[in-house]
Amino acid sequence: MAYNLKNHSQIENTSEGCPDLSTIEQKLGHGYVTSTPEAGTMLGLLYEVGKKIGSITKLNKLVKQITQMTQSTLNATASSVLLFDEKEQELYFEVAEGESEKALRKIKLNAKSGIAGWVAQNKKPIIINDVMKDQRFDPSVDEITGFTTRSIICAPLLVQRKLIGVIEVLNKSDGSDFNGRDLETLTSVASTAAMAIENAQLHQTVLNAYKSTIKVLAAAIDAKDHYTRGHSQRVMEYTLMGAMPLSLPRDEMDVLEYAGILHDIGKIGIADSILSKDGQLTDREWEIMRQHPLIGSDMLKDIPFLEKARVLILHHHERYDGSGYPNGISGEDIPLGARLIAIADAFDTMTTDRAYRAALSVDRAIKELVRYSGTQFCPIALEAFISGYNNQQKSLDTGNGNYDLSEKD
């Protein structure tokens, strides 16, 4: 059975008794949504969807929320969002809710074939309650994932007719057929979801540009002294390695990434004659050098997305016993991220050649870190760092990775 829609030519459907969606669209468009219980429920759903996803800017998190809400609302076994790669003319699973999520993420589909491809090409929703009777059904995804698709509703994700992707919902949990109201719900959710996804993609594009700028800044810092070339990148990597055992939220890991790679950005304001001096620094030169956390913090104060990272940069030379700089704070008053960066910074400094000495072995460097646990370094952060290092070495199968906090001389 086919239904004529406002702005759509046809929707294919294998179920009987589905409402004319153009009527619903007109009600939504002209403010009549409260005239029926169904419309009131729809408005409530769209409000909830908008409220939950409107402020999410992380694409993966956003799509996860969309699929979870869609699957739950439509009482389905699985739900997924496929995003459109215009350059490659492919659809790929950003995230899926239900079985076989990991397998789905590896799959890329031709945007001109299959049911999802038909929806993408025609920019029209579809409902099919017996996929085995539809020649467009491609069983290859089921074969890879082990999932069995019986029925599907699928809607395009469009922003002003521009294709963002498609959203699909599979198999009613109770084995019943999808109906017109289900399709109406999915189509309405898709409209809200498409705008949110496009905003998240734009946010990610801007963020990627920021990250590229950050890497350029980090390279500029390291280029001032050939002994520290690559130091900023390594400190960032060691910081993230040390944070892994703590199972920090993704947002906090992002802050650590920015702060780790920019921890020494303030050195841009330090004279080369001090940064590259072969011998020991004078007291006055040390006083100047110790200004770099303050300089770095001041440089970043007007960049909102780096505000949390700025705090860690300011405090990455504080010591656990309070004898550090610039503020002399101690213990838990030092942000956890700054404590992790302090350890990563010291570890990289010890394990690379410097003008005043050759690199220490990893074994020796870890013993030095442990020796200063509780004075210079936070014991909790150090335990996490050592655990992260051990885990990394074991995953690389190096035969190393057996260090612990009892490594003191």
* Active-site residue identified among 27, 64, 172, 267: 267
Sign of CA dihedral 313, 314, 317, 322: negative
Phi-psi region of 162 (alpha: psi -120 to 50; beta: other; left: phi over 0): beta
DSSP state for residue 318 in the 8-state scheme: -
d(CA 105, CA 98): 12
Query: Which residue intervals of 224-361 are DSSP H helices?
Result: 231-243, 250-262, 272-275, 283-289, 292-299, 307-315, 336-350
CA atoms within 13 A on the CB side of 278: 0
Residue type, 197: I
Q: C-alpha angle with apex 203: 310 to 98, nearest 5 degrees?
A: 110
Kindly state the helix (H) or strand (E) to which residue 327 belongs, with its residue range.
Answer: none
Q: Is 267 a catalytic residue?
A: yes
Q: Which residues are catalytic?
A: 267
